[in-house]
Each structure stands twice: as structure tokens, then as C-alpha cells.
Structure 1
Amino acid sequence: MKRLSVIALTFGLVCSTFVSYSQEGIHQDETRILQKRIFYLLDAMEAHPPVATAVAADVVLQRLMVQKRTVLQQAIDSCANLACIADAMLIKPGEDAAIARQLSSLFQNNGKLRQWIKDSIRATGFYKLSDSLPDASLFREAWEEEAAGINYIIRAYLQNKGLQYPKVDAASFPVNSPPYFDSVGHLITAVLENGREEELFFQPLLRICLRILQLNRHDEAARLLPLSKINEQPCQQIRSVQWRQFPFSAILVFGEGPETPDVPISVHNKERCAAASALFKSGKAPFIIVSGGYVHPFQTKYCEAVEMKKYLTDSLSVPAGVIIIEPHARHTTTNIRNANRILYENKVPANKPVLGVSDVAHIRYIAGENFERVCRRDLKYLPFERMKQLSDTTVAFYPAACSTQINTGDPLDP
């Protein structure tokens, strides 16, 4: 592969708008937030010294890492397109199995690692779908999920493959373009050159994948965090709510982004906010959760939830202190899942239903069987229990505990 070239410099100029989003570029804090949100197991492994030391000292895992680094360097030196580089990067089934076997061996032979899995991994609820498994199997499942997440990023953003929602999730640049090829090559070279001999086995690939997301300005999962800060006032008020006074724990407004650039809020979202405002003022729930991220149109500068809160306060006179922003959901499935996470985190009674608000067609979809199929396809579980349509524009449901499960298969909203 060529080193710095005129075409790469041109691409750098094209990318300047993306860099300006986070002027510090591929910045350590943002990278770490993305890593922790998408790849919690690997991030925790890196952050816990007794575990990191044991993993770094493992001869088999170190050998596998050195082999992968060698394959990547050879690809950078010889590949003529990103498909070739992506093939070198992918964690192959044999590599995956070898790593899983060695991690299982480490688990059996290291008491500190076993305790860490129990206290720091299982206890988070981030691997809730493996709750019924013994610790050793949960550890293996968590690794398998995160290895699949690494492969998803490689396929999606280097090959334009495997995207469930390409209209809003795809790479920001043509994956076959020479400028993108050069930029990815330089990115990989920088990671390999900055690596250290004592790296953990997963770190080179993980760093490359996170930087590929950032190169494409797909840092959505790290935006507007921590939620405890942007929702400080309503979260404080939650502690003093007399829950018996309300039939619902919260009113969830399902966001819908505009399709036109420079339009901050869609007509449908205004209508949904108006309906939510009326329900709130009639005493149905003590809070409104507005849910929706940076989704439509592609690479929009507007967050649906932020704009809905502005509309509720500025146009509908709803107090800001009762509106909770959920700024990451990209689909109806995750509107529900992410709202549930906020409710669980703030210890809102789970035995009280949530009141969902949308338009007629959307509510019909949410209450129908096809929505359950979509949830199982995208999330592998239903994020709700006892879903019931109450009217043309409302549903009620109870939060499902499995909503805390991380979805590494959706790095823009895990």
C-alpha cells in the first residue's frame, strides 16, 4: 500500500467536517467510552490489573496476537483494496475457537479471573441472556459476542456487508474509493506502530475497529453522556415520586426523525409530543421519556430526543424537569430497550407499566406480531412484557429485565 499520498490528503479534506464534530478527533476519552459501551468485557479485562496481567502473560494468547499483527502488516503492505484488508482483519472461526479455548483454560486455572467474572461481569447484567449459564460458559459467550461485534464493524465499514439498516448505519464514504482505502491503511499502520509487546490479544483489532467507527463519524454511542448529567433534574425528582398516585411510571414518546437536512424535528414528532403533553398534564405519569438518537437523515446533526424536549418545553409548556432524554435509540426496538435501561438504572418500580405514545400506524405495528419478530431478530429477545394497545395512539408495556443486555451487533447503539 502507498504511504501518504495526494489522494489521501484530498480525502483528509473531505473528512474535515467529520473531524470538526469532535475537534480532538480520535480522542482518548471518546474512544474509551465507545470501547466500554460496545465491548464491555474487553474493556473491563483491560482495566482490571489482575486479569489484564494474567491475559498478557498467557503464551498462547500472545502468540495468536503476534500472528494477527503479522497478517495485518502483510495486508497493509500488499493489499490493493479494502476487501483484502478486511479479510485479513476478520477473526476467523479457527482463531475464535483457539481464543475461546485458551480463555476457558485461564478461567479454570485463575481464581482471580473466576471471581472477576462473577463480581464484575455477571453482576452488571450486560450479559443477561447468559444468566442461566455457569460463570465459565457466560465468559465464553461474552467473548463470542464481542468477537462477533468486531467482525461486524469490519464487514460493515470495510466491505459494506451485513448492515441491517444501511440507510442510516452505513459507512460515510464509498468503501471502494481509493481515498478511503488509503485512510484506513494509515489508521491501521498507526495502531500497529503504536502497539506494545505487552498488548492484550484483542487490543490491536479493537483499537482499529473503534477508530474506523470514528473515521466514519459513527460515534453516536458516545454522544451526550453521561445520561445522569443531561437528565440530572428529572433523575433527582424520581427519588421523591409517590408512585401510587400514577397509573404509569413514564410516558415514552417514540421518536421519528425528519428526512430533510436542516429540519430539527419532524411533523410526526411534534404530534407525538402534543399527545404526550396532554397525557402528562392529565396525570398519567410523573415523567416523559423522549427517545431517539442522531438517525434521520443520514449523519444528521440533530438528535431526536433533544429536539423533542425543546419542543415540549418551548411550545407545549411542559416543565424541563419532568422530561428525560434518551438520545441513542435508532429504532423502535431500542426506544423501548433504552427507556427500560433508564428506568432500571434509576430504580423506578418495574411492576408499573410504561405508556407508549406514537401515531396510529406506528402503534398498530408496535402492538402486532411482526414487531415481536423484529425484536427477536435485532435484539434476540423481547424488551417488553404484556404489550397491550390501549388506543389508536398508545400502548402499555412492562419493562423486561433482559433490556440490560449489551448488543455488540449494533455498535451505534449497543
Structure 2
Amino acid sequence: MRRAPLMVPLLAMAFSLTTVCAHAQTVRDAVTESLSQRLFPSLDALERNPAALDALQDRPGVAAMLRARLDRRAACGADLGCVTQAMLWTDGEAQILAAAMPGKGADDGAAAQAAREIAGVNIILRTYGLGQVPPYPQIDGAGTIDPQESRARLQAAAWLSQTGRAGSVQALDPSVEFALALLDGSDRIDAIGFEPLQSGLNAPAMKRAKSLDWTRFRYSAMIVTGVGPEVEGMPLSPFGKYHLRLAAQRFAAGDVPFLIVSGGRAHPRATRFTEAEEMRRALIERYGIPADAIVIEPYARHTTTNLRNATRLLMAMGAPLAKDALIVCNPGQSAAIESPQFVTRNARELGYQPGTVGRRLSPTELEFRPSPLSARVDPRDPLDP
């Protein structure tokens, strides 16, 4: 059914976008709260530290910058496209806020983490608000939508950005809430689909990892990369099934305690299947692999993030990062992972190497030394930060 034309007057811009009703601050939105914490941990933490937030807002450079942003939005009046454009952070504004951010941040500091989060806000605004084509349009973004639907999503995001939510950073700037509302309105809250990741299907393996003697095994884990199907309604691709046969055969050697199956809900767009879930099911049902030996990584949509996210899980399991893991996949993908082009791609898309590819053991097996740099949260990919 097509939505009826918007009949509600465009009142969203009739008052300041930083105006939030006092009583509404007590209202919690569990989905938006979880998404905010996942995508924007340093910005989100400000609301739980009122003293730090007040100090940040009171800094002369920050206060003037935030006032200029407010004036820019107000000048748009009821023009939703203009307001969305005005929500974007300029390079100068981002630098001012990032430099003033308190706390330790990620391994490269609070300013660097804040800069990534602000860049993530901009990417969401451009992709889901202004219609910019994402880097991987076949699986990212909102897809092709009717202009009327696009306008409705912008209007809803504008209203939501000025409607109070407990735990938000609306008091600092409404752009974060606006970005979160755009993702929610587009049904692209992929980033929190399996949180907390250490529970649910991963609970048996996580429990076993706590008491595991890692020295008994040659490798910390086997990383089984995904190869998403391109056919609607297909749970696993033919290559994916080949990966599972390889993984089961290799697991039988007994020198790997866990299989980390990595693959999100990506191919084809809007598929109902999460590749890692389907891989886990097949390993248990077809090959008899114990559930407490399988860890799902259900977010990755690229080979780069297969390795990054698997490393994050190894860290959560308490695995020694000084111990090699094993990458198992088809010969073509394995060769690509070993190539200089993959190093370049990691640098371009992640900003670092998620680990070091080591010895080749066979056409389908590579050793891999994971890197703690993989812990960096990066909402520039808002579906898998």
C-alpha cells in the first residue's frame, strides 16, 4: 500500500533542533540506545558523564562552533533537504569537537575515535538522508525508494532528533540522533542484530573458552570466511558449502579448538538469511561439529571484516593474540587474502591491517596472526562498525 501524501504541516523546524522537552529525557528507546552505543561509543558516553558534557560545551571554540551549527540549521526553515545538509559536520567543526573530546578513546586516542564517529554521522546523513550512493550499493544503503518515502523518512528523523530520549547526546548536537533515526527509518539497524554477541548462539563456545587450555592447540581458531549467495531464498552459496566441507575436514585434525564462521545478512540485498547462522547449522547437522566448538560472526559483509570481526571475537574469548589462527576458504579467496592488493584494501577500508597473513599450508589454508587494532569501532560502515 502506498503511503498517503504527508498532510502534517512541516513544524519540525519551527523551533531549535536542540530543544528537547525536559520530561522526555526520561524516555528510553532500547533499540536506538543500543544502536547509539554500538556506533558512537565515545559520543554516546558523554550523556552518562554530565560534568564532561558541560565542560565540553563550555569550551570557547566548541561553544562557538555549536552555535554556528545551530544557526545554520535554523536558517533552513522547513526545508528538509537543507536541514539534512546543515546537519553535516565540516572538517573544521569535526576537528574542533574531536580535539576537545575527553577520555582515552581507542588505541589511537580519544580524538581519533571521535573523528571516526563524526565521519560516521556524515556518511549516514549522506547515504540515508541525501541519497549518496554507498561504496557497495548492491548490499549497502537504503536501496531505491520513492521520493515521497524519502521525504517521510527525513521528516520523521527531524522530529525524532528533537524529541527527547534518555541517554542521547541531543543536548550537544542533534545530528547523531538524526543519523540514528535515518538508519532506523530505513530498517538498517544491522549493527545490533545479534547483540550481545557473546550470548545466544555463542554462549556454549564462550563458556568453554573461559576454561580452555590454549597451549594444547596449535591454532587459536579456524576462521571460515563467508561467500554470500546471490540467489534470492538461498541460505548458503555453493562456495559456502565447500568452505564448510573444508572446515569440517580440517577440524578433525584436532589442533584447532574453535571454528569462527563469518558472514552477515548481506547477499542478496534484504535476504532473511544470516550466513554465519546457516554455516553453524550446517556444521552441526551435516558434520556433527559440537555447538560449543562453533562461534558465529554474523556481521561481516566483506573479506576484510571477516578477519577483523573474527579477531574481535578471539579477543572476547580470551584467546592469546600471539597465537596464530587459521584461515580456511576456497583457493581463489585464499589467494586474494594473501595478495598485496588485500593489504592495500585493508589500509583503504579499515585504516589498518586486522592481522598478518602468514604461511600458506595448502591452496585453501593460511596462517593468520590477529592484531588488537581490530578492536577500533568505526561507524563509517554503519551496518558493521
Same fold (TM over 0.5): yes
Give me the TM-score of the superposition, normalised by structure 1: 0.80
Task: Please name the residue that 2:240 is paired with.
Answer: 269
Task: Please name the residue that 1:7 is paired with.
Answer: 5
Bigger shift: residues 367-376 or 387-396: 387-396
Structure 1 residues 276, 397: closer, same or farther in 2, change over 3 A?
same
Task: Please name the residue that 2:87 is paired with.
Answer: 89
Structure 1 residue aligned with 2:321, among 339, 344, 350? 350
- Counterparts of 2:41 and 2:360, CA distance in 1: 36
Amino acid at match of 1:52: L
Superposition RMSD in Å = 2.6
Task: Please name the residue that 1:303 is paired with.
Answer: 274
- Counterparts of 1:173 and 1:7, CA distance in 2: 19
The 5 A counterparts of 1:223-372 are 223-230=193-200, 231-372=202-343
Q: Indicate the SS of the match to 1:356.
A: strand
- Counterparts of 2:194 and 2:368, CA distance in 1: 27
Task: Please name the residue that 1:52 is paired with.
Answer: 53
Amino acid at match of 1:213: L
Task: Please name the residue that 2:185 is paired with.
Answer: 215
2:169–2:176 CA contact under 8 A, matched in 1:
no
- Counterparts of 2:164 and 2:70, CA distance in 1: 12
1:375 matched to 2:346? The reply is: yes
| Structure 2: gaps of 5 or more residues | 8-27
1:122-180 residue CA offsets vs partner (Å, 9 max, x unmatched):
xxxxx22x1xxxxxxx3332322221111111112223336221111122343x71321
1:384–1:399 CA contact under 8 A, matched in 2:
yes
2:263–2:299 CA contact under 8 A, matched in 1:
yes
Structure 1 residues 374, 161: closer, same or farther in 2, change over 3 A?
same
Give me the TM-score of the superposition, normalised by structure 2: 0.86
Structure 1 residues 63, 71: closer, same or farther in 2, change over 3 A?
same
- Counterparts of 2:92 and 2:171, CA distance in 1: 15
Structure 1 residues 63, 185: closer, same or farther in 2, change over 3 A?
farther
- Counterparts of 1:261 and 1:70, CA distance in 2: 47
Task: Please name the residue that 2:38 is paired with.
Answer: 37
Amino acid at match of 2:86: A
| Structure 1: gaps of 5 or more residues | 10-26, 105-112, 122-126, 131-137
Deviation of 1:411 (Å):
1.0
Calculate percent identity across the aligned residue pairs.
29
Structure 1 residues 356, 284: closer, same or farther in 2, change over 3 A?
same
